[in-house]
Structure 1
Amino acid sequence: MPARPRVKDAFDPYTYTQGRWLHKDEELRKVRSLKFDFEALLDVAIKCTIGAQRVVHCEKKEGGYNRVFLIRFDNESQQVNERTKVCTPRVIASSAWTGPGSVGAEYMITTVVPGKSLGDEWNSMNPLQHVECIKSLAGLAKDLCEANFPAFGSLYLNTRRHPFPTIALDADYCIGTDPETYRKGHLSRVKAVVLESAIVTGVIDWQHTAVEPAYVSEIETPDFGTELKLDEDLDNLHCDEQAAIIDDSERCAKVWAELAFPCYKMGKAVALEPVYRHFLAASYFGWLTKEIELISLINDIGRLWNAIGMTGECPYKVSNEDRERV
């Protein structure tokens, strides 16, 4: 009698199914298709889970960058921190080896953080829960701000496989160059915040985080910390509903600003004139290589030249033609 499959035949772990492209859709989806030994990956997960003998359920979840498999075992467990109090999943197995004897793809197996995704829950929360959630996130941000590093960049394990040059932090970790040309990683880029009863229970996606200047982080405010801009969906609501949503949005923005400012590093960045923050962060975000962004930046500096404490006249004048393009 043939062995019973551990996952349904219709289950496709290899194909990226989220999102479509208007141009070259089939070609681009093929590029995002990843062939690997899925059964071998399940075997690894079983072996590193105490008491598990087989997989009883597997669910695929897709994000913008990663593919995640939520695996449930016959012992009812599920698999999917050291320096801070921030709750993160415990890594129980990982490998970057894709050669002979491997599963054919890089992987990381972690424990599951209890709770639900903030992105899924936010719209069903009431205003009081929004405030409590923001307070919880601000506490997380404050804890992260208390960590001190000797340089900017990304953290690596202090092994022979780390990039060079690096600065050793201790026997376990070092800090090296950021693997991307520019980075957009801070609290607003943490994709998967997990919470229960409006309290953050963990953060499970740190792909776009890095050790970076505080003024870079303050360029991008988390969605819940910005005042709501009117859109078509909001315009279609009844006046009372519209007013309630706008009021909640403004309250959230105010609470986040008030809680972020007392954090020493974040507070200093918040206190900077916005045009200064944009100027300092320009190279970090790649704006200096984009003509329109660069013209806009120079135009803002010239327009506020005296207001930001500069003397005389701005040495660079944006032409009328360039100003219209901006």
Structure 2
Amino acid sequence: MRRHPFFRFLSSPLHYPYLIARASRLPTSRFQCTKADKVFGFDPYTYTSGRWLGDDDLERSSRYIAFDFGALCNRVLQLCPGASSIDNCKKLEWGFNRVFVFTMNNSRQIVARLPFTLAGPARLTTSSEVATIRYLQLKTNIPIPTIIDWSDDVKSPENPIGSEYIIMEHASGVPLHQIWDRMAGDQRVRCISAIFQKMKGATDLRFPSYGSIYFKDGPVQASARQPLNEDFCIGPHCGSRYWPLNARQRLNYGPWDNLDSFCEGLIDAGLAKLSASASDLDCKPSYYGSIDQHTTVLKSVLSVLKQMSSNSCIQHSASPLLFHPDLHKRNIFVSAEDPTIITGIIDWQAASIEPAFWYSNDLPDFATPNADESLYYKAYKASSQYYTPALSRPGSMDENLFRPFHYSYRTWKDGVIALHHETIETARNWKALGFEGQCPYPIPTPDSLLEYERAYRLFVAAQNLRYDLSNLLNSASDGWVPTEDWEVAQAAHREIFDGMLQAVLSNRNPEDDEPVRDEGTLRSIWPFDLP
């Protein structure tokens, strides 16, 4: 779809030179860890690495952890009998965890990871991660740091720390993202191949159902367990998509024995996220839809997903598969002497057993950002096809076969129009996609189609706006910026909004398909907070 005139000024120095100049002064580095302090020069409890241009107070407060840092230090010392003191500690903060890297006086390094409450369901997220790592260490040769101690129970008398935690050995080697830019092209290609040689072990595993892995005596109700072997079981999916903080109903969180029941879980997750208060819709853009519209579309889409699931191509691409949920350079460690040797793959939080096609849209950052024909993208495709064919097979198929599945639980985040659009496109191309019979989702009437197309244009405009703003402000897509860049980013953000508002108000003859014609519409799709 072509970009609308509304966005042209964002990339036009001729029209708005001061916006480009302001944005160019923003630092180019993102996601840096910050040090702050008490014993080691930082505040261990509060999120300090960044700020958010949207919902900043909520984002930071949801990452506050109330625990006993002194007890954590003591526990780490107890686990290192050859050490008598801690020489240094670094605090690292990611989206779902706070990480402390302890360096002992005997040079040994120990890592402690504490999850934020938004990481997933209490107890299940931590216990599943530990069980998944142990299962992979038993069944594969994937290099994962050894877990020394852990607790998923903050109320246990054996847990004086007061938070769920995992304490493990530090991965050997260096993070791939620190060394990637210094690697030669042939080293990068061999490194990509080595990554998939290691990950082959995970994709070769066979599972009877979809869900998350737990120890057989883990915190899972007996009715929600499916035996995997004598020590492990498959239980509820611990991914955050099934566990909204304000769910209106008990969720269908698995495990699921077949693709039909997995689809029911997706739709139930979407329904559970619908807000209990219609007042939440007051500031939403017009394409967002009412609660009744969300409910109607979600229930209608379930029959579509089930009919699609009976297709042999989708069945062959839906085998239960365990894979790393975030296989990017920051989670891969390599040898400092030979970066083609993989020494560690970390952060298995929320790793669950999904239909193989669920991973078809996940493109690792070592395969980007060049065009699809880049050398590293080719190396990624070739390595995946050779070592992990169950993973690569869905990626070689028409992505439209799987898009309705990926959008089915997200309407409360994206607006109902996104799922509505994907399902209409599926209905229009039903035969071409290889499905039999008639698609159960009705294509809109001509009058309804015009209204739908206007709503979808505004939705696309909103997505383009978020993407362009993130690039100009050098922020993450959710508006995250490093703390040291906060004031500059805020000022640039305000100037960009003022410029865009002036562009909208001065456009007296908008084109017929122009999605943003007034200040109210601009504010409704603006992704970040405005004064």
Q: Partner of 1:115 in structure 2?
A: 173
CA RMSD in angstroms, aligned pairs only: 2.8
The answer to whether the 8 Å contact 2:175/2:334 transfers is: yes
88, 92, 97: which one aligns with 2:144: 88
Contact 2:360 2:392 in 1 (8 A): no
Q: Which residue of 1 aligns with 2:433?
A: 308
Tell me if 1:106 matches 2:164: yes
Match of 2:94 among 63, 70, 84: 63
Partner residue in 1 for 2:125: none
Selected match of 2:398 from 270, 273, 280? 273
Q: Does 267-276 or 147-156 show the bigger shift?
A: 267-276
Task: State the one-letter code of the partner of 1:119.
Answer: H
Identity of aligned residues (%): 29
SS at match of 2:96: coil
User: How big is the shift at 1:261?
Assistant: 2.2
Q: Which amino acid aligns with 1:316?
A: P
Instruction: Give the drift of 1:145.
Output: 0.5
8 Å contact kept, 1:158–1:173: yes
User: For structure 2, which runs of at least 5 residues remain unmatched after alignment?
Assistant: 1-37, 112-136, 243-321, 457-531
The one-letter code matched in structure 1 to 2:363 is T
Match of 1:221 in 2: 363
In the TM superposition, residue 124 of structure 1 has moved relative to its aligned partner by 3.5
Distance 2:165 2:435 in 1: 52
Deviation at 1:172, TM superposition (A): 1.8
Alignment TM-score, normalising by the size of structure 2: 0.52
The counterpart of 2:70, out of the listed 39, 57, 62, is 39
Where do 1:1-326 residues align within 5 Å? 8=39, 10-23=41-54, 25-26=56-57, 28-80=59-111, 81-99=137-155, 102-159=160-217, 161-163=219-221, 164-180=223-239, 182=241, 186-187=323-324, 189-190=326-327, 192-196=331-335, 197-226=339-368, 228=370, 250-262=374-386, 263-283=388-408, 286=410, 290-310=415-435, 316-318=442-444, 319-326=449-456
* Whole-angstrom CA distance in 2 between matches of 1:41 and 1:182: 30
Code of the aligned partner of 1:92? I
- The alpha-carbon distance between structure 1 residues 136 and 179, as it changes in their structure 2 partners (threshold 3 A), is same
- Report if the CA contact (8 A) 1:195-1:201 is conserved: yes
Cα deviation for residue 79 of structure 1 reads 1.2
Q: Give the match's secondary structure for 1:56.
A: strand
Give the number of equivalent residue pairs. Answer: 300
User: Is the CA contact (8 Å cut-off) linking 1:188 and 1:222 kept in structure 2?
Assistant: no
**Is contact 1:152-1:212 (8 Å) kept?**
yes
Q: Is the 8 A contact 1:288 1:294 kept in 2?
A: no
What is the CA–CA distance in structure 2 between the aligned matches of 1:155 and 1:303, rounded to whole Å?
39
The answer to whether the 8 Å contact 1:87/1:202 transfers is yes
CA distance, structure 1, for counterparts of residue 178 and residue 452 of structure 2: 42
Distance 1:93 1:277, change over 3 A: same
Segments of 5+ residues of structure 1 without an aligned counterpart are: 1-6, 229-245
Matched position secondary structure for 2:334: strand
TM-score (norm 1): 0.81
Q: Which amino acid counterpart does residue 224 of structure 2 have in structure 1?
A: P
Distance in 2 (alpha carbons) for counterparts of 1:309 and 1:194: 42
